[in-house]
Amino acid sequence: MDTNDIKPSTIMLIAGGAVLLISTFLDWLSFGSGNFSVGASGWNTETNGIQGILVAVIGLAIAGGVAARQFGGVSLPDRILGMDHNQLHLALGFAAFLITFGLQFRSGAAIGVLLGWVASAVIVAAAVMDMKAGDSASAAPPTQF
């Protein structure tokens, strides 16, 4: 496999998914002041419910799926749940963005949430880039009347 033909959007999807997964291990919620502070990661279901776990699964699915297709030669189905890969990345990235961006405005939001919504915004941007590249490649050239 030639690594020179990797698209920037592929790198963005892998890196965004990995950073999204890593953000769930950081503090999503922080309480305290001064020398005493208590934090809760995205995996803490008492403070975050299953939102952190859902974001971790989204990050793992996107980064792992794209890396497996690009570097491992894994053949995935063309359509999953009636969507192609670009649409699926856009939908999952947007869901992660809504979760993490919404949590940013609660009291005590910490660095993990900020990192999560930035990573999910990168995923959405990469999915839009892939969708735009697919539209221009399949579009027929203009014809003269």
Band of residue 44 on the pLDDT scale cut at 50, 70, 90: confident
Residue found under tokens 């769930």: 24
Q: String of b and e for 86-114 (b: at least 16 CB within 10 Å)?
A: bbbbbebbeebbebbbebeeeeebbebbb
Dig out the tokens for 143 from the structure: 């014809």
Higher pLDDT, 112 or 2: 112
Q: Could you tell me the pLDDT band of residue 37, with boundaries at 50, 70 and 90?
A: confident
Give residue 1's pLDDT. Answer: 53
How confident is residue 42, by pLDDT bands cut at 50, 70 and 90?
A: confident
pTM (2 decimals)?
A: 0.84
- Select the more confidently predicted residue: 5 or 82: 82
Helical axes 111-138 vs 85-103, angle rounded to 10°: 150
The pLDDT of residue 7 is above 60: yes
